[in-house]
Amino acid sequence: KRPLVITAQRNGRKADVRIEGVIANYERANARDFEAVVDQLVASGIVDAHCYIDSEGGSVIEAKRMVRSLRKFTGRVTGEGGPAVMSAATYVGLQLDEFKLSKTTAYMFHKPAARIEGNEDQVESDLKGLKDVTQEYRAAYAAKTGKTEDEIEALWSKGDRWYTGEEAVAEGCVDGL
């Protein structure tokens, strides 16, 4: 598994953002640093960003943190996928104004999962959190694809949904090649 590397830097009048590797330990690894750089870019007048994503996925919560930082750009936030856009990384792509893949990108989404342990109170609490995240992800996929939430549920209840870039475009998951 590739460690997460996430960066943002000025490129003329736009920010270039790169998300590469497994989305894990983001908060401990460099979330504060990334958010501080985004804040500096926004404070300097940068409103648009372009985001490159090459990730096997990972934590749904960490993906939400990335999206929170990306939403600080008040202009257009576009993106492109590298060789792999999977699992939680697809959620980040869904939140962009426009997201494209190459023909050969491996694109995969599935129902969010979690490891839950503890006493019954903790398990019930964590299960509620997982259900809330699942609802949020289901709504995001439905909004992007134009499918109903029931159709998304039917898709991912069969397990991982694997697509080439072309298939992801045809399913409405992304905006083009």
CA-CA distance, 84 to 121, in Å (whole number)? 37
Q: Is the dihedral of CA 81, 163, 94, 1 positive or negative?
A: negative
Average predicted confidence (pLDDT) for the chain: 94
- pLDDT for 76: 98
CA distance 143 to 122: 32
Q: Quick: pLDDT tens for 153-165.
A: 999 999 999 999 9
Q: Rounded to whole angstroms, how far apart are CA atoms 149 and 136?
A: 10
Token reading at 147: 């499918």
Total count of residues recorded for the chain = 177
| pLDDT tens sequence across 29-69 | 566 778 888 999 999 999 999 999 999 999 888 898 899 99
Among candidates 116, 165, 161, 104, which has minimal Cα distance to 137? 161
Radius of gyration of the chain (CA): 16
Model confidence, pTM? 0.93
For residues 4 and 146, the model is more confident at: 146
| Residue whose tokens read 């509620």 | 128
